[in-house]
Amino acid sequence: MTFDDGPGPYTGRLLDILAAGKARATFFVLGSGAARDPATVRRIRQEGHELANHTYTHVPLTSLSTREIQGQLMKTQQAVQAASGVWPRLMRPPYGATDKRVTRVAQRMNLPQILWSIDTMDWRVRKAKSVAARATQGAHSGAIILLHDIHRTSVEAVPPILNQLRRGGFTFVSVSELYANKPLAPGKRYSSGSG
């Protein structure tokens, strides 16, 4: 499971749920959010989850100059490090919007681009039941599930997702753990652990 756009008002509750369910996740945080709420970012790290870069202000990187792309990513690396001591090893471009220039900057910054294989559409459908159904329906080995911890309904969907997928024999790891046996190449795009 991956959680984008936080930290937000429901991130603390999500961390409680993940701790109770002994599940690890990856948080693609905004640098601006990390600067605003460093305590939550630190807690994400302390509880064994992975912190990753989702830009500073959530702009489509493809609309920016090369220099601005680098600024968005670098400021976020620094904000996450200031909050948690961690220098993120992964990035996810907002809206999945990437191109050759974004790829080149990510490559230079040593950051693979992590997309997803299961889109819960949780930003659009604000019903925990529907979010959980979308997350679990297409579940497959190596799946990267996209969720947003800035929505209450998405956080409410996590207990049923954990229960259902556990029953199906799945485990919940961070993206870096998912790729532990296959080194990630800087700049390269990944959307699931099985491909």
Q: How far is the CB of 123 from Ni ion (least distance, A)?
A: 8
Q: Compare residues 22 and 124 and give the one whose CB is closer to Ni ion.
A: 124
Measured N-to-C along each axis, helices 11-20 and 152-167 cross at an angle, to the nearest 10 degrees, of 10
**Residue of the chain from 1, 5, 50, 80 that contacts Ni ion (CB under 5 A):** 5
35-74 footprint of Ni ion as x/- string (CB under 5 A): ----------------------------------------
**Residue 147 in tokens:** 């969720």
> What are 92-95's contacts with CB under 8 Å, separation 24+?
92/2, 92/4, 92/28, 92/52, 92/53, 92/54, 93/55, 93/60, 93/61, 93/62, 94/54, 94/55, 94/58, 94/59, 94/60, 94/61, 95/60
Q: How far is the CB of 150 from Ni ion (least distance, A)?
A: 9
Whether residue 4 lies in the annotated active site: yes
169 φψ region: left (φ > 0), alpha (ψ -120 to 50), beta (else): left
**SS3 call for 56:** coil
Interface with Ni ion includes 122 (CB under 5 A)?
Answer: no
**Residue of the chain from 1, 3, 4, 118 that contacts Ni ion (CB under 5 A):** 4
Q: Which stretch binds Ni ion (CB under 5 A): 5-13, 80-88, 150-158, 183-191?
A: 5-13
CA distance 101 to 26: 25
Identified catalytic residue from 37, 49, 54, 148: 148
CA distance 21 to 2: 15
Q: Which of residues 82-101 bind Ni ion (CB under 5 A)?
A: 94
Identified catalytic residue from 4, 5, 37, 122: 4
Q: Compare residues 94 and 193 and give the one whose CB is closer to Ni ion.
A: 94
Whether residue 148 lies in the annotated active site: yes
Q: How far is the CB of 76 from Ni ion (least distance, A)?
A: 12
Residues that bind Ni ion (CB under 5 A): 4-5, 94
Point out the residues that are catalytic: 4, 148
